[in-house]
């Protein structure tokens, strides 16, 4: 077992101690790094309160509006009978394995045929670089390239996600780098809300998938996903 796998399994076991405050701290650090001292947005703690209550004035309202306009990244038809929601962390090696090996096959077989829509939820529980990558992917989404950037992140996991590397990957994705850097601090609230949503429904690690209500945890073999999708499709057809 690699050191990365050991670290992830340890983080999973320590889940009750890890969630909550550490994410808020990580988001606050990312906000400072990416917003030039935090001028563009509130602290992550304020964003969390805004998500649970009402948006506060100033930067919080702007972040909330931006998150609402952006929506959850998705791939596939809005009319697809099967929806697969993934809670993922860009530093998670198991998420990377799914993204590189299994996801493309599901896209070819089910997304392109109109059977499946895939939706992304941020669950950055492995540290500051996880949060930074999540924010960077949302900045790429602003330019309509979330999935391209998502793929680059997973293809380059071994190198880590320093601030400089995230910008390099933006260039590789042919993003407007100036606009990308300007957007890096805008979506702390959206990332935090995804994380909180995952906690509320009992997510305890990544990747975790919800396929028309059925939960699959971990980078399962392709056949497990195919069986779940086919089962969900049959149930959806019976209900129509």
The CATH number assigned to the domain holding 189 equals: 3.40.30.10
* Residues 156/114, Cβ–Cβ less than 8 Å: no
Range of the domain at 223: 3-239
pLDDT of residue 239: 83
- Dump pLDDT digits (tens) for 82-137: 999 999 999 999 999 999 999 999 999 999 999 999 999 999 999 999 999 999 99
Q: Rounded to an integer, what distance in angstroms lies between the CA atom of residue 88 and that of residue 98?
A: 10
pLDDT of residue 229: 98
- The C-alpha angle 168, 169, 172, rounded to 5 degrees, equals 95
Tokens at 151, concatenated: 């793929």
> How many domains is the chain partitioned into structurally?
1
The DSSP symbol for 58 reads: T
Handedness of CA 148, 71, 126, 204 (dihedral sign): negative
pLDDT of residue 115: 97
Residue 98: count other Cβ atoms within 10 Å of its Cβ: 23
pLDDT of residue 51: 32
Q: Which parts of the chain sit beneath pLDDT 70?
A: 1-69
- Measuring CA to CA, how many Å separate 12 from each of 6, 149, 200, 207? 10, 26, 16, 11
pLDDT of residue 69: 64
pTM: 0.73
Handedness of CA 58, 161, 211, 142 (dihedral sign): positive
């Amino acid at each position: 077992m690699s050191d990365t796998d050991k670290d992830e399994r340890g983080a999973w076991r320590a889940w009750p101690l890890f969630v909550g405050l550490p994410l808020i701290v990580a988001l606050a650090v990312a906000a400072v790094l990416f917003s030039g001292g935090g001028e563009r947005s509130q602290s992550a703690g304020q964003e969390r309160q805004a998500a649970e209550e009402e948006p506060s004035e100033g930067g919080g309202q702007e972040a909330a509006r931006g998150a609402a306009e952006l929506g959850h990244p998705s791939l596939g038809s809005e009319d697809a009978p099967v929806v697969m929601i993934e809670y993922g962390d860009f530093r998670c090696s198991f998420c990377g394995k799914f993204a590189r090996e299994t996801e493309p096959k599901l896209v070819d077989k089910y997304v392109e045929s109109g059977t499946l829509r895939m939706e992304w939820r941020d669950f950055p529980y492995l540290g500051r670089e996880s949060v930074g990558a999540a924010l960077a992917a949302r900045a790429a989404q602003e330019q309509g390239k979330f999935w391209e950037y998502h793929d680059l992140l997973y293809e380059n996991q071994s190198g880590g996600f320093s601030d400089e590397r995230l910008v390099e990957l933006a260039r590789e994705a042919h993003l407007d780098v100036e606009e990308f850097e300007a957007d890096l601090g805008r979506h702390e609230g959206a990332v935090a809300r995804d994380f909180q949503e995952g906690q509320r429904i009992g997510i305890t690690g990544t990747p975790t998938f919800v396929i028309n209500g059925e939960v699959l945890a971990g980078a399962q073999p392709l056949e497990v996903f195919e069986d779940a999708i086919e089962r969900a499709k049959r149930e959806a057809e019976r209900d129509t």
